[in-house]
Amino acid sequence: MVNYSKFVLANGLRVLVHEDHTTPMACVNVLYDVGARDEDPERTGFAHLFEHLMFGGSVNIPNYDEVLQQVGGENNAFTSNDITNYYITLPAVNLETALWLESDRMLSLAFSEQSLEVQRQVVIEEFKQRYLNQPYGDVWLKLRPLAYKAHPYRWATIGKNIEHIEQATMEEVKQFFETFYQPSNAILVIAGDVKVEEVKALVEKWFATIPDHPVKKRSLPQESPQLAARRESVEADVPVDSIYIAFHGPDRHHDDYYTLDLVSDLLSRGSSSRLYRALVKEQQLFVDVNAYLMGSVDTNLFVVEGKPSEGVDVAQAEQALWEQLDRLKTELVGEKELEKVKNKVESTMVFAELSILDKAMNLAYFELLGDANAYNTEVAKYAVISNSDIQRVSAEIFRAENSSTLIYHAKNQEAHVG
């Protein structure tokens, strides 16, 4: 159980405080309710670009990192299709410095052509290194638009293409900030060796005077049910052939989300999981195989991927993946096997409660979903899932007409029909 106190400032900023006096450290986590799904389809990659720009300094604090390092702090951030999250860990006695830094860039981020150009080049280089010049790096640039035709999940967080970042103007960047980086569109969580009343006074001091401009309610195009299988095959400069099969699944608020998450664990969590045991160890059809749920807030993707062993035909390998999925639809999972993966889920969540950073990020995320206390009921939602639930959801999800398949054929190998 992660206890917390919550209050909301007059400008709409939601604040959660978790006291943990077993550590001398504190964590300040700021989640902004903006991700790649909120971008203009003709200007993608802005949420991620802005994550970088936020470290370019504010009007009053030109060097964010230097100030933080002087008080023993560390920071980082990440962007997803749903959120942008910033966090600081530092000795709790220096908490006010972290709140000062975060409030100042929320209020008065410095916009300079130099900072924009520097961060633009950083992001472009990341695009090239991670997505274009790395084997299988462009998988999400291909698989997302294959699976999604309407929803903005059809592009990756990095963006559709480099040109969108290259052409970003200062005016567009400022507009993005003014649209989404508002107190009422943020969730602030402070966790660690702190006291609620002291934190409340500090938050009032540094954040209460920041004016708010209400963010327009999100209205995104929704994905229609997929009615026919989709396929794409590419020849690429990759070491070995590779198979990716994506299925549409429920959103993060749906009860079946938890069932499908357990399915991913049954299939590929650890060396005793079904895919590894059957396809890597026993049949030796794959050198690597995996299954996972994307965890998106809106309509999800469940992805099964694998790299066939040398000499194994892609079509044969793909059929073997489908056989494992079909087993879930036709056979009830044994109680012992199901209990094993439930225990693993519970242990993961218990271990997460040992880290103030994990607790801060989780409280912020569940508050975004609608109720921070839902973090404390997650284990119970997995515990009630039955083997018949596994069978029902598998039958609904793992259908050919609900699948989008991407095949990489290695150029240095004879291309197989897939």
**Partners of 186 in beta bridges:** 32
CATH number for the domain spanning 286: value is 3.30.830.10
Same domain, 161 and 194: yes
- pLDDT per residue over 11-42, tens digit each? 999 999 999 999 999 999 999 999 999 999 99
- pLDDT per residue over 131-153, tens digit each? 999 999 999 999 999 999 999 99
Q: Would you state the pLDDT for residue 415?
A: 42
Which is it for strands 242-249 and 403-410: parallel, antiparallel or unpaired?
antiparallel
Same domain, 279 and 393: yes
HSE-CB for 296 with a 13 A CA cutoff? 23
Q: For the chain, how many helices (H) and strands (E)?
A: 15, 11
Length of the chain: 418
- Residue 166 in domain: yes
Same domain, 147 and 64: yes
Would you say residue 52 has pLDDT above 70?
Answer: yes
Same domain, 79 and 163: yes
If 0-12 CB within 10 Å is exposed, 13-18 middle and 19+ buried, where does residue 346 land? Answer: middle
Same domain, 246 and 332: yes
Same domain, 153 and 235: no
Q: Would you state the pLDDT for residue 285?
A: 98
Same domain, 21 and 154: yes
Residue type, 298: D
- pLDDT per residue over 341-395, tens digit each? 999 999 999 888 999 999 999 999 999 999 999 999 999 999 999 999 999 999 9
Largest CA distance in the chain: 68
Q: What is the dihedral of CA 376, 217, 13, 159, to 10 degrees?
A: 80
- Dist. CA 83–CA 136, nearest whole Å: 25
Same domain, 195 and 343: no
- Residue 279 in domain: yes
Would you say residue 56 has pLDDT above 90?
Answer: no
**Band (81; pLDDT cuts 50, 70, 90):** very high
CA dist list (Å): 32 to 1, 123, 213, 362: 25, 20, 14, 14
- Residue 303 in domain: yes
Q: What is the mean pLDDT of the chain?
A: 95
- Residue 92 in domain: yes
Percent of the chain at pLDDT > 70 equals 98
If 0-12 CB within 10 Å is exposed, 13-18 middle and 19+ buried, where does residue 126 land? Answer: middle
Same domain, 139 and 241: no
Looking at per-residue confidence, does 63 or 405 come out higher? 405
- Indicate the number of domains in the chain: 2
Same domain, 380 and 325: yes
- Dist. CA 94–CA 318, nearest whole Å: 55
Same domain, 188 and 302: no
Same domain, 302 and 333: yes
Q: Would you state the pLDDT for residue 104?
A: 94
**Band (59; pLDDT cuts 50, 70, 90):** confident
Q: In what order do the strands lie in the sheet with 230-236?
A: 230-236, 403-410, 242-249, 300-308, 286-293
What is the domain extent for residue 245? 230-410
- pLDDT per residue over 186-234, tens digit each? 999 999 999 999 999 999 999 999 999 999 999 999 999 999 999 999 9
